[in-house]
Amino acid sequence: MLQRADRGKPLTGRIAEVFFSIQGEGATAGTPAVFVRLQGCSVGCVWCDTKYSWDPGGGREVALEDLVEEAAAFPCRRCVITGGEPLESPLFSPLVHALRARGFTLEVETSGTLPPPAVPVDQWNVSAKLAGSGVPEAKRINPEAIRRFLRLGAWWKFVVVDAADVAEVLRLAERFAIPREKILLMPEGVRREETLERSPWVAEECQRYGFRFSPRLHILLWGARRGV
């Protein structure tokens, strides 16, 4: 939660973690980046692998200035702001501006359930949720938000398990005119073995429909661990 209680007091908010790794997923997979995981998410996907980030009162409180210093201490000027659902965090927009002012190129990982604020983000990675997430459609599909992300040239990353998921991706692509070359399919799985097991099928579906395959490099390299 963001607090600017009294004049002169620092801007503060809650984060789950800050770490330096490589982008594990999506269009820039393999690129070194500092990750800032903002605390808080109300979406509630059944297979979420960062449930520790759900409680907006969890994690640790940081001053914005200190958070930017923590990120800038790493030898990298690419930052992935993630969550939780980062757009639910009141720290999000001030953080984007502060990191930009320090020369960071910015990617944002979002569920696409909230419309993007007008902030200078270089790459929006929208991981829209399918029925298999267990989240009611009214919560996971926000047509206005989707249209606004489309206008920003977002990438669309879908976690898929089976043919029903791919069929749903195709319906969403048609309904919202999402360019297929901006869609990535990613195998569901928090363990290396299950990710690898599903990957050939996902790759074949990508070939079939003109989507792009997204690996989960952090899981392949380090398994189900935090901070990688």
Positions touching ligand SF4 (CB under 6 A) are 41, 43-45, 48, 50, 53, 83-85, 111
Write the DSSP symbol of residue 62.
E
| CA dist., res. 61 & res. 42, Å (int) | 19
Nearer to ligand SF4, 117 or 134 (CB): 134
Name the minimum Å distance from CB 133 to ligand SF4. 7
Name the minimum Å distance from CB 54 to ligand SF4. 6
| CA dist., res. 103 & res. 177, Å (int) | 34
Nearer to ligand SF4, 48 or 71 (CB): 48
Nearer to ligand SF4, 11 or 53 (CB): 53
Please name the residue that has the structure tokens 């809650």: 14
Which residues, 6+ apart, have CB-to-CB distance to 7 below 8 Å? Answer: none
- Rounded to 5 degrees, φ, ψ at 151 are -65, -20
Name the minimum Å distance from CB 214 to ligand SF4. 14
Nearer to ligand SF4, 11 or 85 (CB): 85
Name the minimum Å distance from CB 87 to ligand SF4. 10
Q: Cα-atom radius of gyration of the chain, to the nearest Å?
A: 17
